Amino acid sequence: MEYVTCHLSDRITDEIADQRPHLLISHALTKAQAKDYLRETQINLILKPIADQLIDRLGRAEQIAAVLQTILTQLRGGTPQSMGYAGGNSLNLLLQLPVDIGGYDFSELTIWQAYLQDVKLHGMNFPGPI
């Protein structure tokens, strides 16, 4: 299990850094409706390692956020299937980074499996979600 989780984290990191999302689109990295302890485990075993690897690779959290925004811009306006989990995964990943997500544009994106309880959404743009 550890091998699979590490391999998934490495692949997602590569996809984000190279701006070629495939697994980011096709696989939910966390399940929003999971019990709290399971969701926390998913965050600790998947999202945080990806965030750490991206910081090592891209430098700053702001650079990672910019790359994620570029990926989302490329996907914006597509079909729900073509966007898949990328919107929700990106939002969940941004929440693991020391960045202010206020003002981010998630309009015209499918947001699947994003866990937004206790998240301040002030200034975020969500009009027209699919």
**8 has a pLDDT exceeding 60:** yes
Mean predicted confidence (pLDDT) in 110-129: 79
| Contact status, residue 76 vs residue 107, Cβ threshold 8 Å | yes
* pLDDT at site 128: 64
**Alpha-carbon span 48 to 108, nearest angstrom:** 27
* pLDDT at site 119: 81
Those residues whose C-beta lies under 8 Å from the C-beta of residue 120, and which sit 6 or more positions away, are: 102
* Residue 4 vs residues 7, 42, 113: alpha-carbon distances, Å: 5, 13, 21
Q: Which of the 8 DSSP states describes residue 27?
A: S
Mean predicted confidence (pLDDT) in 103-125: 84
What phi and psi, each to the nearest 5 degrees, are found at residue 125? -105, 115
